[in-house]
Structure 1
Amino acid sequence: MRTTMNVLLTGNNLALRAGERPVPVPGSDQLLVRTRALALNNADLAHGGDERIAGYEFSGEVIGVGSGVDAGLVGARVAGTTPAAFAQYVVVHHRHVITIPESVSFEDAASLPTALLTESGALSVAGVGAGDSVLITAAASGIGLIGVQLARLMGAAPVIATTRSAHKRALLERIGADTAITTGEQDLVAAVLEATAGQGVSAVLDHVAGEMIAAVVPATRLGGKIISVGRLGGSEATVDLYALAARQATLQSVSYGFTPPETIGDLLAALESRVLPALADGRIKAVVDTVLPFADAASAVERLGSGQALGKIVLRMP
């Protein structure tokens, strides 16, 4: 095997750029994966800090294992999440991957791990199950698109989705949203109350934060839950606590980082029994806007930053 690999670097306030680094060696509890596809996330648009290998999401084949890991995993098709993912070879904690069904391409698989673990985790915190109603804000984001599908898989109805772009409403309806709301053109609270017979939703998965947190409170039913998942509108929010108390609602913020490793491991393991079978038979589908070659990372970043993408942006590895 070669000793160096092609990578995409970030940091020093520069855009993604090509580089070369030594091929990593898997340590204890790690897999070595030959990547086949990489997926971009909004975090990849930030280029601050020291120079480092970019990216967090990938798919590929296991070609080596470290101590404490079952050697039978060599050859497995996997998708996972780890820092420094934008490289030909990636080391990743063995619990931070999922096995890819044969029916799912590497390009589709690369777009899934972050969204699956984040949205399934948030829906679990909200206690969503059959008969619950769910509002998902910024649902046309790469993560939100999976959230809509997972809410339907868990039996939620209606599933209500918001977007700032009217042209994305059709996509939201196609993947399973019962009602798609264009914020800025429609009254969010009125539309949600109309879709829930005046009751409001059982749970909100909010990916916006900022002013959106306060906006969804009156759209929540008595005793409902508001889960802050993303911070597209900023990490700070002002909420009328009297309004929150009047709805007897619970507001909780979640974030699924890379430490401790058990957090992501437990979330991904929870997908095995229900979500991965749904992925295999097509009830859950990746939504990929564009697949570009690894060498065209600049176009991928431009497409992601445009806000026009209908799904994830993926790079195909050579």
Structure 2
Amino acid sequence: MKAYVYGADGPAITNIPKPAPMGTQVLVRVRACALNRADLGMTKGHVHGSRGGVGTVLGMEWAGEVAELGPEVKGVKIGDRIMGSGAAAFAEYTLADHGRLFHAPSNMNFDEAATLPVALATMHNAVVTNGALQAGQSVLIQGASSGVGLMAMQIAKFMGAKLVIGSSTDAMRRGRLQEFGADLAVDSSDPGWVDQVLAATNGEGVDLIVDQVSGKVASQNLAATRVKGCIVNVGRLGGTHADFNFDLHAARRIHYIGVTFRTRTIEEIREIFAEVKKDIWPAVEQRKLQLPIDKAFAFDDIADAFAHMEANRHLGKIVVSL
């Protein structure tokens, strides 16, 4: 089968053996896959959790059909249209644990379905489970113009947030955040953004910040969060090390929570997928929670898809169809 593999000379489409499912694994005939920032790093040889380096089949998000079942699989059957996340997505076939997938809604094509698994799982876990957002509260999404950021704003609004603020350093993207639930858009590269957040919250700060940027905004986030508020650290696009105002953190008694899928067990990931299904799945089926496709590419042009992502001018997901 064809797969996009990182080799000694970089990533390339390569012929490799088709995998066979074991235990709770499902063999998926991939019809579409979506790009994520971590994939871009791995095309340069970076390691993401336990994956990366020479020999790695790239990709982590897909939609397709069940082709074969492992002997312990429950909840799906051969021929089901499904979408999910996991290793080695950029291939004609991939393996997935039966608890790490969703049934693709009948009103979505494969390209559309491929955009959703990572964003739904990541941001339900950040906004609802760890952020404990309640109806009537306020939330700031740092890095709101990314695919997962757009989903975070939609989930927050769906869960009843009274004020949703999104940040982006790009004026064009900032101008479109309202389409995805933002009541206010701020530029996190502007030193005055904290004052804008405070003005919008009667000087108190937001109840919750979901931070995909970190780096230089870390201490600014503390100033923009209310006393006894919460910050959930999801991403570190702005850097993994920076100044942190420990005194302000203590004075505001802020709950600061770090999350990642890289160190989670399969049991923990299954629980995250189950919580998505329990809390927000009807909204997914009704297309109240969805992501725009910025551009779609054929699998043979997957290198062009990554060049498009690296140019960093897109809004929404970049999809590759097989």
| TM score, norm. by length of structure 1 | 0.94
1:266 to 263, 271, 280: 271
What corresponds to 1:97 in structure 2?
101
User: Take 2:60 and 2:263, find their aligned partners in 1: how far apart are those partners?
Assistant: 10
- 8 Å CA contact 1:9–1:54 kept in 2: the answer is yes
What corresponds to 1:19 in structure 2?
14
Which amino acid counterpart does residue 76 of structure 1 have in structure 2?
Answer: D
Which amino acid counterpart does residue 292 of structure 2 have in structure 1?
Answer: V
Confirm whether residue 294 of structure 1 aligns to residue 299 of structure 2: yes
User: Take 1:277 and 1:11, find their aligned partners in 2: how far apart are those partners?
Assistant: 41
What corresponds to 2:49 in structure 1?
none
User: Take 1:278 and 1:174, find their aligned partners in 2: how far apart are those partners?
Assistant: 17
Confirm whether residue 61 of structure 1 aligns to residue 65 of structure 2: yes
- Alpha-carbon spacing, 1:13–1:160, altered in 2? closer, same or farther (3 Å): farther
Residue 108 of structure 1, CA deviation: 1.3
Deviations 1:259-279 (A, max 9, x none): 410121111111113322101
Confirm whether residue 31 of structure 1 aligns to residue 26 of structure 2: yes
Residue 238 of structure 1, CA deviation: 2.6
What corresponds to 2:48 in structure 1?
none
What corresponds to 1:45 in structure 2?
40
Residue 71 of structure 1, CA deviation: 7.7
What corresponds to 1:280 in structure 2?
285
- 8 Å CA contact 2:75–2:98 kept in 1: the answer is no
Query: Which structure 1 residue ranges, 5 or more long, are not aligned?
Result: none
What corresponds to 1:8 in structure 2?
4
Which amino acid counterpart does residue 39 of structure 1 have in structure 2?
Answer: A
Confirm whether residue 230 of structure 1 aligns to residue 230 of structure 2: no
Percentage identity across aligned positions? Answer: 36
Residue 185 of structure 1, CA deviation: 4.1
- 8 Å CA contact 1:109–1:286 kept in 2: the answer is no
Secondary structure of the structure 2 residue equivalent to 1:180: strand
Deviations 1:58-91 (A, max 9, x none): 0001111001113852211111111111100111
Residue 237 of structure 1, CA deviation: 3.4
- 8 Å CA contact 2:83–2:103 kept in 1: the answer is yes
Within-5 A mapping of 1:1-318:
5-12=1-8, 14=10, 16-46=11-41, 47-48=44-45, 49-70=53-74, 72-123=76-127, 124-185=129-190, 187-257=192-262, 259-317=264-322
Which amino acid counterpart does residue 204 of structure 1 have in structure 2?
Answer: I
Which amino acid counterpart does residue 33 of structure 2 have in structure 1?
Answer: L
Residue 54 of structure 1, CA deviation: 0.7
User: Take 1:139 and 1:106, find their aligned partners in 2: how far apart are those partners?
Assistant: 24
User: Take 1:162 and 1:71, find their aligned partners in 2: how far apart are those partners?
Assistant: 39
- 8 Å CA contact 1:26–1:64 kept in 2: the answer is yes
User: Take 1:13 and 1:139, find their aligned partners in 2: how far apart are those partners?
Assistant: 34
Query: How many residues matched?
Result: 312
Secondary structure of the structure 2 residue equivalent to 1:22: coil
Residue 171 of structure 1, CA deviation: 2.1
Please give the root-mean-square deviation of Cα atoms over the aligned residues, in Å.
1.4
- 8 Å CA contact 2:82–2:103 kept in 1: the answer is yes
Secondary structure of the structure 2 residue equivalent to 1:107: helix
- Alpha-carbon spacing, 1:245–1:315, altered in 2? closer, same or farther (3 Å): same
User: Take 2:218 and 2:8, find their aligned partners in 1: how far apart are those partners?
Assistant: 33
Which amino acid counterpart does residue 72 of structure 2 have in structure 1?
Answer: G
Secondary structure of the structure 2 residue equivalent to 1:73: coil
| TM score, norm. by length of structure 2 | 0.93
Deviations 1:160-211 (A, max 9, x none): 0000101002321111111011223461111111211222100000001111
Residue 55 of structure 1, CA deviation: 0.6
User: Take 2:8 and 2:167, find their aligned partners in 1: how far apart are those partners?
Assistant: 35
Residue 100 of structure 1, CA deviation: 1.1
Residue 17 of structure 1, CA deviation: 1.3
User: Take 1:100 and 1:31, find their aligned partners in 2: how far apart are those partners?
Assistant: 15
- Alpha-carbon spacing, 1:174–1:71, altered in 2? closer, same or farther (3 Å): closer
User: Take 1:238 and 1:260, find their aligned partners in 2: how far apart are those partners?
Assistant: 31
User: Take 1:251 and 1:185, find their aligned partners in 2: how far apart are those partners?
Assistant: 23
Which amino acid counterpart does residue 35 of structure 2 have in structure 1?
Answer: L
- 8 Å CA contact 1:258–1:264 kept in 2: the answer is no
Query: Which structure 2 residue ranges, 5 or more long, are not aligned?
Result: 46-52
User: Take 2:265 and 2:89, find their aligned partners in 1: how far apart are those partners?
Assistant: 18
Secondary structure of the structure 1 residue equivalent to 2:140: strand
User: Take 2:199 and 2:103, find their aligned partners in 1: how far apart are those partners?
Assistant: 41
